[in-house]
Amino acid sequence: MKTKLIGASLFALYFAVIPGLVAQGDKKEIDAVHTFLKKAHPNKKWQTGPTLLASDALKKAYGERARFYYVFSAPPLPPGANLPELIKAYQARLKDHNENYLSVTMRVEGDGKVVPLTTVGDLRMGLMNVKSEEDARIVAAAVLSLHGSGRVAPGVVIPAEVRVQKHKDGWQATVERRLQFQGMVQFNKNGEMTNISKDFTGPVPP
């Protein structure tokens, strides 16, 4: 019983530290997302989602009314051995993934319009400008929450995870989650986001 209680406490703490990780979406918004995806990406499918992304950092960076959802599909892992039959099977799975699966983050506006966020410019729409290191932590946490890349899905990042360095041209913010990803966001001296990356650092077959 004691072990179960400890496990439950750790589980509760994890989700308390990262708010919004299991947030429930609004039915009308989810319906709007499905309608958008069906129209913009017919015959595509995804592995997870639509999932709502919500956090204090997102509210501060984009405003209280901003709503974000994503669908995500991780590419197949390469084979663990250099055998012709395994390589052939992997190539077939990769081809299926590239042709039929989708990953995209979207903003749902008040009128139900769904806007895909696929570029730095898309992510900058409605985003607060950075004027301090604390601003940089908040904004970097928000955009890294929304950004997915390769094997790394969108997911809530909190400002406490973000390290910031100020330089003559602006700020650089980084996040490192061991065996998960390394994230980086750059801002110019005017406080505008100019670049973002999120690279998988988890284990892969040898």
Confidence of residue 203 (pLDDT cuts 50, 70, 90): confident
Place of tokens 């650089």: 172
**Averaged over 34-57, what is the pLDDT?**
96
10, pLDDT greater than 70: no
Distance CA(65)–CA(43), nearest Å, equals 31
Confidence of residue 110 (pLDDT cuts 50, 70, 90): confident
- Three-class SS state of 108: strand
Distance CA(59)–CA(107), nearest Å, equals 13
The pLDDT, as a whole number, for residue 14 is 32
Model pLDDT for residues 123-181, shown as the tens digit of each residue? 999 999 999 999 999 999 999 999 999 999 999 999 999 999 999 999 999 999 999 99
Which strands, in side-by-side order, build the sheet including 67-72?
A: 48-53, 67-72, 104-108, 114-116
pLDDT over 90 percentage in the chain: 79
Q: Are 105 and 147 in contact (CB under 8 A)?
A: yes
* 3-7, 38-42, 45-49, 177-181: least confident range: 3-7
134-168 burial by CB neighbour count: b if 16+ within 10 A, else e?
A: ebbbbbbbbbbbbbbeebbbbbbbbbebbebeeee
- Give the closest residue to 143 by CA, choosing from 166, 167, 171: 171
Distance CA(148)–CA(198), nearest Å, equals 7
The pLDDT, as a whole number, for residue 6 is 35
pTM over 0.75: yes
DSSP letter (8 states) at residue 106 = E
